[in-house]
Amino acid sequence: MDVCLVKGKQRRALIESERFLRDFPPSNRYLIGVSGGRDSIALLNLLVDLGYKKLVVCHLNHQLRGAASRGDARFVEKVARNLRLDCEIGSTDVGALAKRSRLSIETAARFARLAFFVEVARRRSCSRIFLAHHADDLVETALLNLFRGASPGGMAAMRKISVHRIGKTKLTILRPLLGVWRSEINSYIKQQGLKFCEDRTNREMSFSRNRIRHRILPYINKTFGRDVSKAIWRTAAIWVDEESFLDVMTPVVGSRLNVVELRKLALPLQRRAIVNWFRLNRVPNAGFDLVENVRSLMEPSSLLSKINVPGDRHIRRRAKTIFIEG
């Protein structure tokens, strides 16, 4: 696609994405997560137009919407087939996973998708995946983490490039649309005449992210008399840069925490090491209170014998080691 032929907001969005993509040649193989919704369809179309011909389309059926979920999977298969791209379709009963692991539907769905992507990455020997998270997603995630009492690291959790490890498999997530707004994606979709799936759950207020999007952000905007999203986005972007620096300063943690080594760190680095340890052990939604509870286990006088975490697991200390069991 000739960017010069694209007008207005869509052109800015395309240029923003192309700058990021310069470091990832189209001749290489990549996975791409495609739900069938407008964001992932827009990203897929953009990448194909930019010459990415070795994409592996990855779609996970969450089994949350019955026939509609199956219809989304068939739609994605058809799109991949029309573009002559390889396609991987997976299926997980996310509702059962959430109940079994005592997680929210949103968290269970995120874990299920990541596990599916990692499995495809392992089988396909392809360690990089494009995801269609955009600027509005970043703002919503920042607010969600803020309300949970997250550190600046939590506020900057969604990055253009992030690395996840499950077992021996490393997966690098690439988010070329993270500087692009939903309105720009909508304009691009309309101009290109792209078809996509509408997910009715995006309007259901039982999900925290939907309440942020449809109630809390509009209320904040009305209160301040302006759209605050760009200010939140800029703050998160600043934190990303500062977090990158602190990442370098924080020692690498393993599956267990060494109490003696942890005590040697300055307080901010202690907290960061614990947060990194949570990520390594796939502990979701680790807010300030949980981090501080783990820090309290470092003290000999601690009254805590164990700390409960989602998934019917527990954090304990034995001698000079803090670990997760269950």
**Where is 316: in which H helix or E strand?**
strand 313-318
Distance of CA 120 to the CA centre of its chain: 17
Q: What is the pLDDT of residue 310?
A: 79
Beta-bridge partners for 59:
89
Q: What is the pLDDT of residue 299?
A: 86
Left (φ > 0), alpha (ψ -120 to 50) or beta: where does 103 sit?
Answer: beta
Q: What is the pLDDT of residue 241?
A: 80
Q: Which CATH architecture has domain 250-325?
A: Up-down Bundle (1.20)
Backbone angles phi, psi at 93, to 5 degrees: -80, 85
User: Tokens 């990520």 sit at which residue?
Assistant: 279
pTM for the model stands at 0.81
Q: What is the pLDDT of residue 8?
A: 52
Q: What is the pLDDT of residue 152?
A: 66
Q: What is the pLDDT of residue 151?
A: 66
Cβ atoms within 10 A of the Cβ of 135, count?
25
- The end-to-end CA distance of the chain, in Å, is 52
Q: What is the pLDDT of residue 221?
A: 94
Q: What is the pLDDT of residue 156?
A: 66
Q: What is the pLDDT of residue 148?
A: 77
Give the separation between CA 204 and CA 201, rounded to whole angstroms: 5
Superfamily of domain 3-208: HUPs (3.40.50.620)
Give the separation between CA 153 and CA 150, rounded to whole angstroms: 7
Q: Where are the alpha helices (DSSP H) in the chain?
A: 8-21, 38-49, 67-82, 94-101, 105-124, 135-147, 152-155, 182-192, 208-211, 217-224, 229-249, 259-263, 267-280, 288-297
**Where is 170: in which H helix or E strand?**
strand 169-174
Q: What residue ranges do the domains of the chain occupy?
A: 3-208, 250-325
Classify each residue of 6-41 as buried b or exposed e, where b means 16 or more C-beta atoms within 10 Å of its C-beta: beebbbbbbebbeebbeebeeeeebbbbbbbbbbbb
**What's the average pLDDT block by block, 10 residues per block, for the chain (326 residues)?**
46 69 94 97 94 97 94 98 98 95 89 95 96 95 82 72 84 94 92 91 83 94 94 88 80 89 92 88 81 90 81 89 90
- Residue 14 structure tokens: 């395309």
- Give CB contacts under 8 A, 24+ apart, made by 291-294: 291/151, 294/257, 294/322
